[in-house]
Structure 1
Amino acid sequence: MTAESSPSLHIVCPHCDAVNRVPAARLRQQPVCGKCQAALFSGQPLELPAARFLKHIERSDIPVLVDFWAPWCGPCRSMAPHFAQATQRLEPAFRVVKLNTEEAQELAARYAIRSIPTLALFQQGREVARQPGAMDAANIVSWATQHQRR
């Protein structure tokens, strides 16, 4: 199967939020946004405000791994570098996102976030797995890939 005939995936641009169609075979070829020409993957977690969060989890065909965190949370701060390391290993098979629960309290309530940090995995807009507590990079990668639907 060639890249042109491989199934296309919808990928939301982390810069302008445009929904891009990317052949699955080209995900690892550093795709860029058709609208703003920025890279669709940066190797760093995407920090999303509440206003942009739903579009990314609802319109993306790749799984979206979310770290629900807060700046005052010690375990959240200690997990942050591990989450960044995990991002480098998970992209482009996953979109990796951080959501500040202090700034997005309505989303934290909507998703019943009771403790932080909490990781949640979304596919086609639905939560498919959740894990409270801090983890290191290897465990984040293992947990995310274990719960990814094929």
Structure 2
Amino acid sequence: MNKSITFLLFIASLCAQNSFADYRQAYLCLASGETKNILMTTLDEKNAAIDFNPLMYYPYLKEIEISSGGGVGFGDEHTDMVMNDNYDEIVNGKITGQYQTVSRNHRIVSVIYFNKRNNKTISFSTPLTAKQKAEINSKLKSTDYYCK
């Protein structure tokens, strides 16, 4: 009887741990040599595809409103596909910037941001090192996000 109760408690604790692990949203995090900010975009771990919305920057963690402006794809979707998509950044109902993403086989590899107010362009294409991910993820522990 005691072994059965212990076993059930063990199973319940495993289920609780798994549900907590699934609660946090994975993000693709890209760095740039032009800014200390880290670009974070949603990563869907179920099918390994990356969705560009929502989008935010570390350390600010404020979602940025964007709308799709269209895109162009090259290649065969079954073997090797390269996509170039454009998104408008919207603040207070006005377009304040543009994001251009380059993805290969449904995974974003590069993001170029153009700020319309100051005509500045920033390129995010550097994956984080294991050390950078560990540092950022330790600071994100109390949030719903983590860099994958």
Scaled by the length of structure 1, the TM-score of the pair is 0.23
In the superposition, the TM-score normalised over structure 2's length comes to: 0.23
Q: Which of these two proteins has the greater Rg computed from alpha carbons?
A: 2
The structure with the greater share of residues assigned to helix is 1
